[in-house]
Structure 1
Amino acid sequence: MLTAAMKNAARFNGFSEVYDENRPRMPKLVTEIIGQYLQKTPDTVVDLGCGTGLSTAAWKGRCREAIGIEPNGEMLQKALEKEESGISFQQGYAHQIGLSDGIADVVICSQSFHWMEPESTLREINRLLKPGGVFATVDCDWPPVARWEAERAFDGLRAKCNRITAAHKELQESFFQFPKEWHLQNIRESGYFRYAREVLFSSEENCDAKRFIGLAMSQGGLQTVLKTVPEEIETELSAFIRTAEEIFGGETFPIHFSYRMRIGIK
């Protein structure tokens, strides 16, 4: 029988290319804030649920070694393309990582902690972290700030996916998600951290119609519906694509991702 962790990993099958091409890059500010709390440049950073390695690669030149941990084989294969000196990847689950005790100055979950069972994951994070080490979860809000008409279309597509999921038991049971709004509380209540807080910020990236559509296509909820009952979302997806193309045309424009970063100091 598949565990919740296995189901969550399998949810990301089939769209590693779309994910890697379109997802936001982890902002430099994340590494700067963590470095400020550490009061040094970290030696070892462990990136849990690293996906295609975008968040791990962001540590290049900002630590001695960054290790990305990813359970999904397809995502991991894409991440391995980013390996270089100081950047490595291995397969594993967040609650059972094959790394030594006290190896990490930093453990980070970039848009991934909500897929992990918090109690067992935080126990493993505590095992990995050195005294004074930093744990951080980094999540962006969807959709990014663009044009309101495009954001409304993005939200409408996501809402339709949610309604389809709610109507199909097999879709409901194909994953288990933990509320992001509980992250800070879970960090505090774990008892592993002397101090915890939330930091809010935004980051600007360039976008065009193709990427805006790609950001929607990189959502696990939409991809799950497309893999199981595509006929139920085809009309709405086509309308969303058409709307994005009509609004943005061939324009390149800035978008802003709103971030919520929860931090614990061991």
Structure 2
Amino acid sequence: MLYWLMKYVLLGPVLRLLWPMKVVGLENVPDSGGAILAGNHIAVADSFFMPLYVKRKVTFPAKQEYFTEKGIKGRLKKWFFLGVGQFPIDRSGGSAAQAALDTAIRLVRAGHLLGIYPEGTRSPDGRLYKGKTGVARIALESGGVVVPVAVLGTDKVNPIGSKMWRPRRLEVRFGKPLDFSRYEGLSGDRFVERSITDEIMYALMELSGQEYVDIYAARAKELADAEAGGIRPAVPTQAASGREAGRLPETKAG
């Protein structure tokens, strides 16, 4: 109830009015059944705009800190993030990471739409980074199809570090669903999971036109921080243009 109130009465109409959006390929989102909306991640605002025109509820995992702040501000923040369809995950690693995966798998198996960012964190510079294989594990164990989603323009609306959102026309592109049922029973095979993840990232690269970088976004942030501190990065990046698919890791396995 809270989600639909936020989407159609409180927040949604304001977003539609102030940030007009072009939506392409909405028919690729299944009308029913569990599925995964796998998106690029260039701004915090992505989670607000990506599901705005999707008729079904989209549930996103979000860092636990959004839900645990003390006081009135913390309670309001928790209410807000629950209202926009987000659920808390502990990103501290180990069993916490597995618990987050289990929750996501359970949601898709139960017929929900799960929103997820395979990069694991926001892009530090607008490029598309290597995907983490959790999205593949969720797809394999839930049986849900993966719909790649590219959001364009939110990095200008909500630049990193900005306090206020800026006016800007946006675009959201929903790609054709990716069915990985051919890998049924192979969950846990790291080569299969990497192949699936790379196929998803290839689709996102094609949809968004972003430059692809074959390292994790979190690692890119570490390298940038080290360079800013006067430490020479030890690991080079391997980049490819969004239109130079041959540089992306092979995705056509099986």
TM-score scaled by length of structure 2? 0.33
Q: TM-score, normalised by structure 1?
A: 0.32
- More strand per residue: 1
